[in-house]
Structure 1
Amino acid sequence: MPVSFTRRQMLAGTAGLAAATALSPLLVTRANATPGPGELRMVAAPANPAGGAQRVFLLEGDPLGGPITTIVAEDGAPVLEKRLEDGERRVLRLMHFNDMHNHMTDMHASRGDTHRMAQMVKLVREAKAAARPNETVLFLSGGDDHTGSIFDELMGWSEEEFVVDTGYAAASAAGVDVAVLGNHEFDRGAAQLKLGIDRNAEFPVLSANVHGSAHLARDRDYAPAAVIEADGLRVGVIGLTTAVDTRVGMESDPSMAVASPVEAARNLYKAVEAVSDVVVILSHCGYGKDMHRSGKAGALREIGEGDFAIAEAIGPLSEKPVVIVGGHSHTELNADGMDPDNMVSGVLLTQAKANGAFLGDISMSLAAGQGREAWFSNVALHTIKRRDDRVSEGEDGYDDLEHDDDYDAAFEAEVMAPMIAALDTKLAEIIGEVAEDAPISTEETLATRYTGETAIANFMNDTLVKRSETFPGGRVDFALFNATGLAKGVNAGPLSFREWFDVMPYADQVEIATMTGAQIRDMLTSNARRLLRPEEVEGTDLSAFVSRGMLHFSSGIRYTAVLGASAAEARATDIMLNGRPVEEVLDKEFTMAFNTYIMLGGFSEAWNDKPIGGGVPGEVPGYDVRGLPFDNTGLVYRNELIAAIREMGTVTRAAGADLDGRFQVVA
């Protein structure tokens, strides 16, 4: 049977909400419903037929120009009657995930496939089937539905390569009612994201603070906020995207920007609350604020205006029940019930880790017309089980693993199986071999990526330099790659496309910078200050993110990091550039291959003149690479390495998968 994927565009209808003065003086009607300054236009939009919403209304307009004082609907639109009697008690159950990163089904040859989204579907459908007459169940995504698994490859890099947006297609079929734009939604560019929204998102996509894209238009492709009507209950939803880690400044979309999420929330909140019984902030901004350590961070990382700051901004404004469903920081919140630390300024914060590890569950009991009086919440996380068919019934751990009755088999067969079939050839393709003695296993990679020279990074950078002989601009002098981009290593034996994808799952292109010897020297000194120092290693989870921007370089750069008494005193010495001491080539220009993430300043990893952070004490400024002259090759970093591996056949020490002393660390 051929694989087919549905196309359904989020087209705003002309029918909207009319005046309901009993609800709010902010809601008005007029013949011309085009929003002006301080106004939002309320328009009907299709609800996901697989979801829990009966009607959806998008709130369109500019939430960044100032406070919203008026919501307008077209004159003659049907009146939205008052649906609930004062004091009528309702239960709103919000089931949610965040940072799925395309881990809907995790495939493994020996353990068996883990059906993460299908497990969630089973839980959500059971909750809906068991719901009482006064209970409403909605299903939400907290963003980053893209980037992180082999399913990314079906989205392609151009319209011609696009097969399906697997994250949005799976979420649509699962019954997701609304999603927020996360930072990784933009990894393949806004034009590619628009294809995914148009063809596969059966639900509204929200962000109040993303703006200016040449390809993705607010009020056409996404909206700042929405009102979901389900069983007479009106749920206002505001979407917020992190302003720290979203890829802006791309050559393909130079005007796209992300404004302050706090400013957007503050401008929108009262207007959304006025037309809602309860408000949900879908915040892909991270748990905490400023510098914070949680979730995927192995050390402090820059959050910026995260959920704490958002809660502090809207808490004093709120008069109705409100909750922040978070994402971005991969934080496991309220696993054992509501944690008082997660109630900030009267606003409940919750998050369900990442990669389909948990399904979040919030039950809010509220009484209509009584604002924040007499409402309460219960919070839980449902563990999504990992598959391991090697463990037999009766053995330790068997009951904690996924079995066939734990997931919705029909969803897996009807939705995921066709997408997996579309991937089969690419997944199974053997691109080469890994020699027995090559020190590039996951264990070896994770042990060294933040502390010193790492064999797989040497191989990647050296291979890219050799590969650059085929680039339009010719061979580059050097290449670099960031430690947090190295997710895994590879074991000896046949090497599949999927296994190499897991090494470097992020969607980076190759950017070529021109740098002087002096600039490289300063960059290496900054890098010496980013090392995970020996005294830090024991207290750090080396498998987690240590977001301080540690870089690895190709063999043409050799140097020693002298640690000094503190990170601020660390320095790079004995620097050799293509065999010459740096002092002899300070004014000479070299070419350096960057990955896109570092070219854009490394965001929270601070190659942008901000303090390094990531647990580095003091305000140690990072070297700013953003002013360097760059040339975008249009080439995908991972694809170039895969092509090179195919050509070489076997990844060996002689081919560069080795340690050669290019980077020394001394006290």
Structure 2
Amino acid sequence: MGIKEYDKKDGTKYSDRRVFAVDRNFSEADALQLPERRENLKDNPFTLHIIHINDFHCSVYDFSCDDNGRPVFSKIAAEVASLRQAAEKRDDTGVLFLSGGDDAVGSPMDHLAGYDGENFICHPAYTAYALSGLDATVLGNHDFDAGLKTLEKAIAQDACFPVLSANLIHDGELDGLVFPAAVVVIKGLRIGIIGLTTPGQIRSRDGSEFAIAAPLESVRDMHAKLAGVCDVVLILSHIGYRLGSTFATVKIMGDYELAQQLDHRQFDAIIGGHTHDLLNIHGMEPKHLVHGIPILQAGYNGLFFGRAEMHIGETKTLVRAELFPTGPRDGSPEFDEAFATSKPGVFLPSLRQPLSAMRLPDDYDRQRHESLRDSFEHPTANFITDALATRFRDHGYHVDLFLIDGANMITFFPAGKDSVNIIDVYRLMPYADSIVSLTLTGKTLERIIRENALRLDREDEPHLERGFLHFSRELRYRLHRKSRTADAITINGRHLDVCLEEHFAIAMPNFAQGLAKVWEDTLPLTGKELCSLREMKRSDSGLYVRNELVAYIREHGVSPDSGFTMDGRLAIDNG
């Protein structure tokens, strides 16, 4: 193919720019299809404004407070529209709008994209991007969570902009849909954009086969094709800020290490994502100028957007880079009107429809349960583990025990409601974790339970995600807070210490204890590491945790009768 041009959502051309995707076969002959290049930048310099977001996680609206949702993306769209309107009056100014990946997974609106390609309706974030004139995005790890079939449909239907990844290797499913690079031409200025995807926290679904290659070689290969035809070259990266980042796994290298190995004369900026960092929040910080290459990143969920300004003339200089909160800003009425009549806007009310009745115990205290989530037996955790154990068995799997960790519950069901809907479930579990199974000996299981005493949250210590485990009803035990020990462990009515050599089938979300490493690294060295579930070999069932919980709620509701209760499976001795 070589090169592909994109039009607006309605099929018409952009008035101020032209947008192209280029593949690995891009040649000098393909470059002839690009608009004529801007002449004599030395005497006729150009100002490029860059608006960037990353890890948006489908947060077109913020549903954290109520089911109606607070507009988020509308405020970013308003900023882009305002800048572009001002730039239209000048021949020497242009606006570029980019996303650093993880555009999906984390919002109730993800429900509209489905999980297997069969029940796909739309990709809400791609729809919002198309309506606001996004120039390019890059694939992040969560963009693969629903499988390549869903991703293929989302790009084909809703993305009228290049979706990039120079280091994605696949079997052809995404040919013509995902490209290694893009070229955006604004008033003759040619901007090359190379996409990078993280190999960290990424997994294959629906039988699709793909791999993520090393970033450095991928960038250099595409730069060789773009260097002679572009005035500016940017890296649109979803590999994370640097090795050792605490929020997300960074493998091989992050943007920081990548910049250290690149020539600043060849690359003008790295616009990043994945690790949710707020870089240059009050202006460009010298520590984020690495080997002469500026590194930008704008947090997550659209809470901030980044705005950078680059002057291109005899030299190229990033003269401004800072972040702006979306909260206090006005939205775009034009965007709001267009989105309301789009597919996600039309289907949004369906997310508010009740799944079933909900009757929480009279003594249910949401505030206390949120603040002490990993400090005692928890009715929400009991409900989830028992529900998922039931569903997993309904699918024909043998399982002795289902477990989750505290981080699998982001918030809790609201008190005072008499029904539960999709939005409530997504608030509880916003991410697309799947159910995995593994086999443990009684001896290993005993060790995990005893170490759970160390993971118990404590009021006199800083709160970090410790990976505290909550178990289904088959397991009962006691933790001693002061001595940090466990005893009286039984499974299915049998004392665990008499079946240490037996094997037990365990099921859990694939990301269980995934955020606990930061806390584990703070522990004093004792010569023996904790037994972490995230390091153990497991088999992915392909079943989504949230889907199974929704199915259980539809059938059984949420009440003490359906498992939302405390039954004494965990006893805490505070003495």
- Give the one of 277, 290, 311 matched to 2:243: 290
Q: Given that residues 239 and 281 in structure 1 are in contact (C-alpha distance below 8 angstroms), is that contact kept between their aligned partners in structure 2?
A: yes
List per-residue Cα deviations over 1:271-316 (Å, max 9, x = no partner).
54443222221112223x22234xxx4xxx64342222222222xx
In structure 2, do the counterparts of structure 1 residues 259 and 451 end up closer, same or farther at CA, with 3 Å as the change threshold? Answer: farther
Match of 1:427 in 2: 352
Q: Given that residues 196 and 237 in structure 2 are in contact (C-alpha distance below 8 angstroms), is that contact kept between their aligned partners in structure 1?
A: yes
Q: Given that residues 515 and 628 in structure 1 are in contact (C-alpha distance below 8 angstroms), is that contact kept between their aligned partners in structure 2?
A: no
Aligned: 1:589 with 2:497 = no
Matches within 5 A, 1:403-418: 406-418=330-342
In structure 2, do the counterparts of structure 1 residues 423 and 616 end up closer, same or farther at CA, with 3 Å as the change threshold? Answer: farther
**TM-score between both structures, scaled by the size of structure 2:** 0.87
Please tell me the residue identity of whatever aligns with 1:46.
Answer: Y
Aligned: 1:277 with 2:231 = yes
**Distance in 2 (alpha carbons) for counterparts of 1:664 and 1:267:** 58
In structure 2, do the counterparts of structure 1 residues 504 and 439 end up closer, same or farther at CA, with 3 Å as the change threshold? Answer: same
Match of 1:139 in 2: 97
- Shift of residue 233 of structure 1? 0.9
Please tell me the residue identity of whatever aligns with 1:226.
Answer: A
List per-residue Cα deviations over 1:51-100 (Å, max 9, x = no partner).
687334434239xxxxxxxx624489558654221413111111111111
The answer to which of 125-134 and 267-276 deviates more is 267-276
In structure 2, do the counterparts of structure 1 residues 662 and 58 end up closer, same or farther at CA, with 3 Å as the change threshold? Answer: same
**Distance in 2 (alpha carbons) for counterparts of 1:327 and 1:351:** 6
- Shift of residue 621 of structure 1? 5.9
SS in 1 for 2:116: coil
In structure 2, do the counterparts of structure 1 residues 189 and 561 end up closer, same or farther at CA, with 3 Å as the change threshold? Answer: farther
Q: Given that residues 443 and 500 in structure 2 are in contact (C-alpha distance below 8 angstroms), is that contact kept between their aligned partners in structure 1?
A: yes
SS in 2 for 1:237: strand
Q: Given that residues 52 and 230 in structure 1 are in contact (C-alpha distance below 8 angstroms), is that contact kept between their aligned partners in structure 2?
A: no
**Distance in 1 (alpha carbons) for counterparts of 2:312 and 2:122:** 40
In structure 2, do the counterparts of structure 1 residues 309 and 163 end up closer, same or farther at CA, with 3 Å as the change threshold? Answer: same
- Shift of residue 504 of structure 1? 0.7
- Give the one of 454, 470, 477 matched to 1:552: 470
In structure 2, do the counterparts of structure 1 residues 574 and 282 end up closer, same or farther at CA, with 3 Å as the change threshold? Answer: farther
Match of 2:325 in 1: 383
- Shift of residue 415 of structure 1? 1.9
List per-residue Cα deviations over 1:95-143 (Å, max 9, x = no partner).
1111111111235886964222222111111101112320110111111
Match of 1:303 in 2: 250
- Shift of residue 251 of structure 1? 6.2
Matches within 5 A, 1:582-621: 582-598=496-512, 613=520, 615-616=522-523, 620=529
Q: Given that residues 453 and 663 in structure 1 are in contact (C-alpha distance below 8 angstroms), is that contact kept between their aligned partners in structure 2?
A: yes
Q: Given that residues 440 and 456 in structure 1 are in contact (C-alpha distance below 8 angstroms), is that contact kept between their aligned partners in structure 2?
A: no
**Distance in 2 (alpha carbons) for counterparts of 1:76 and 1:339:** 36
Matches within 5 A, 1:484-523: 484-492=407-415, 493-494=417-418, 495-523=420-448
Aligned: 1:45 with 2:5 = yes
- Shift of residue 473 of structure 1? 3.2
Q: Given that residues 438 and 652 in structure 1 are in contact (C-alpha distance below 8 angstroms), is that contact kept between their aligned partners in structure 2?
A: no
Match of 2:195 in 1: 239
Aligned: 1:480 with 2:403 = yes
The answer to which of 575-584 and 553-562 deviates more is 553-562
- Shift of residue 201 of structure 1? 0.5
Matches within 5 A, 1:57-72: 57-61=20-24, 72=27
Q: How many equivalent pairs are there?
A: 563
Please tell me the residue identity of whatever aligns with 2:288.
Answer: N
Please tell me the residue identity of whatever aligns with 1:415.
Answer: F
Match of 2:218 in 1: 264
The answer to which of 640-649 and 336-345 deviates more is 640-649
Match of 2:386 in 1: 462
In structure 2, do the counterparts of structure 1 residues 130 and 562 end up closer, same or farther at CA, with 3 Å as the change threshold? Answer: same
Matches within 5 A, 1:6-17: 12=1
Matches within 5 A, 1:94-243: 94-107=50-63, 113-131=69-87, 132-212=90-170, 214=171, 216-217=173-174, 219-243=175-199
Q: Given that residues 438 and 653 in structure 1 are in contact (C-alpha distance below 8 angstroms), is that contact kept between their aligned partners in structure 2?
A: no
Aligned: 1:252 with 2:217 = no
Please tell me the residue identity of whatever aligns with 1:203.
Answer: F
Q: Tell me, which stretches of 5 or more residues in structure 1 are unaligned?
A: 1-11, 13-41, 63-70, 386-399
Please tell me the residue identity of whatever aligns with 1:43.
Answer: I
Matches within 5 A, 1:326-345: 326-345=272-291
List per-residue Cα deviations over 1:427-466 (Å, max 9, x = no partner).
232522132435462x334323455543311221022223
Q: Given that residues 105 and 416 in structure 1 are in contact (C-alpha distance below 8 angstroms), is that contact kept between their aligned partners in structure 2?
A: no
Please tell me the residue identity of whatever aligns with 1:306.
Answer: G
**Distance in 2 (alpha carbons) for counterparts of 1:82 and 1:558:** 71
**Distance in 2 (alpha carbons) for counterparts of 1:79 and 1:157:** 37
Q: Given that residues 376 and 570 in structure 2 are in contact (C-alpha distance below 8 angstroms), is that contact kept between their aligned partners in structure 1?
A: no
Instruction: Tell me the C-alpha RMSD between the 2 structures.
Output: 3.3
Please tell me the residue identity of whatever aligns with 1:479.
Answer: F
In structure 2, do the counterparts of structure 1 residues 359 and 624 end up closer, same or farther at CA, with 3 Å as the change threshold? Answer: closer
- Shift of residue 639 of structure 1? 2.7
**Distance in 2 (alpha carbons) for counterparts of 1:152 and 1:191:** 15
List per-residue Cα deviations over 1:472-492 (Å, max 9, x = no partner).
235x32111232221111122
Q: Given that residues 283 and 321 in structure 2 are in contact (C-alpha distance below 8 angstroms), is that contact kept between their aligned partners in structure 1?
A: yes
Q: Given that residues 47 and 54 in structure 1 are in contact (C-alpha distance below 8 angstroms), is that contact kept between their aligned partners in structure 2?
A: no
Please tell me the residue identity of whatever aligns with 2:250.
Answer: I
The answer to which of 332-341 and 515-524 deviates more is 515-524
Q: Given that residues 360 and 382 in structure 1 are in contact (C-alpha distance below 8 angstroms), is that contact kept between their aligned partners in structure 2?
A: yes
- Shift of residue 551 of structure 1? 3.0
- Shift of residue 573 of structure 1? 4.9
Q: Given that residues 225 and 237 in structure 1 are in contact (C-alpha distance below 8 angstroms), is that contact kept between their aligned partners in structure 2?
A: yes
**Distance in 2 (alpha carbons) for counterparts of 1:631 and 1:292:** 26
Aligned: 1:446 with 2:370 = yes
List per-residue Cα deviations over 1:524-563 (Å, max 9, x = no partner).
35655555555532xx4x6xxx3x5443221322345678
**TM-score between both structures, scaled by the size of structure 1:** 0.76
Please tell me the residue identity of whatever aligns with 2:353.
Answer: A
Q: Given that residues 446 and 488 in structure 1 are in contact (C-alpha distance below 8 angstroms), is that contact kept between their aligned partners in structure 2?
A: yes
In structure 2, do the counterparts of structure 1 residues 637 and 603 end up closer, same or farther at CA, with 3 Å as the change threshold? Answer: closer
- Shift of residue 193 of structure 1? 0.7
Please tell me the residue identity of whatever aligns with 1:643.
Answer: A
**Distance in 1 (alpha carbons) for counterparts of 2:434 and 2:500:** 28
Q: Given that residues 445 and 488 in structure 1 are in contact (C-alpha distance below 8 angstroms), is that contact kept between their aligned partners in structure 2?
A: no
SS in 2 for 1:466: helix
Please tell me the residue identity of whatever aligns with 1:311.
Answer: A
- Shift of residue 151 of structure 1? 1.0
SS in 2 for 1:536: coil
SS in 1 for 2:261: helix
In structure 2, do the counterparts of structure 1 residues 425 and 72 end up closer, same or farther at CA, with 3 Å as the change threshold? Answer: closer
Q: Given that residues 100 and 356 in structure 1 are in contact (C-alpha distance below 8 angstroms), is that contact kept between their aligned partners in structure 2?
A: yes
Please tell me the residue identity of whatever aligns with 1:429.
Answer: P
SS in 1 for 2:79: helix
- Shift of residue 622 of structure 1? 5.0
